[in-house]
C-alpha cells in the first residue's frame, strides 16, 4: 500500500471514534491494487477474495485520491454499492469505504452514500 496509508487511515478512524480499540487491534492491511495513475480499476471479486480467504466477517475499503480531494467519484459510489450487495451475499459486512485526501478523509458510510 502507499507508504503509511494504512497507519494514517487507522489513526484517522480511531481519532474520530469510528473504530473502537478492540476492532482496531483486529484490522489487517491487504493490498488489492496499487497504481500511480489517477484511476485503478477494482473488481468486486478482487476486493472480496482475501476477505473470504481469511474468513473475515467485515471489511473497510480504503483508497486515496492523489488530487488530495477525498470527494468520491460516481464510480467510487457505484463500486461501493455493488461491493456492499456482494458482501450481503457472501456474509461479509462492508463497514465503510474511506477515501483519503490531503490530511482529510471522507467516509462514504457516514455521508450516507451506500
Share of the chain above pLDDT 70, in %: 63
β-bridge partners, 105 = 100
Tell me the three cell numbers of residue 29: 492491511
Least confidently predicted of 41-55, 71-85, 89-103? 41-55
Task: Say which CATH topology domain 5-107 has.
Answer: Cytidine Deaminase; domain 2 (3.40.140)
Over residues 23-70, the pLDDT tens digits come to 555 556 555 544 444 444 567 888 888 888 888 888 888 888 989 999
Q: Residue 37 gets which letter from DSSP?
A: S
Q: In angstroms, rounded to a whole number, what is the distance separating the alpha carbons of residues 11 and 1?
A: 16
Higher pLDDT, 8 or 48: 48
C-alpha cell belonging to residue 86: 456482494
Segment holding 44, helix H or strand E = helix 44-53
- The structure's pTM equals 0.72
Amino acid at each position: 500500500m502507499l507508504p503509511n496509508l494504512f497507519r494514517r487511515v487507522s489513526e484517522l478512524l480511531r481519532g474520530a471514534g469510528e473504530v473502537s480499540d478492540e476492532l482496531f487491534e483486529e484490522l489487517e492491511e491487504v493490498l488489492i491494487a496499487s497504481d500511480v495513475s489517477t484511476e485503478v480499476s477494482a473488481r468486486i471479486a478482487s476486493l472480496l477474495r482475501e476477505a473470504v480467504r481469511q474468513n473475515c466477517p467485515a471489511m473497510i475499503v480504503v483508497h486515496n485520491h492523489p488530487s488530495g480531494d477525498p470527494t468520491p467519484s460516481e464510480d467510487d459510489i457505484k463500486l461501493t454499492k455493488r461491493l456492499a450487495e456482494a458482501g450481503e451475499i457472501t456474509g461479509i459486512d462492508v463497514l465503510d469505504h474511506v477515501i483519503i485526501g490531503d490530511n482529510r478523509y471522507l467516509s462514504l458510510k457516514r455521508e450516507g452514500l451506500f
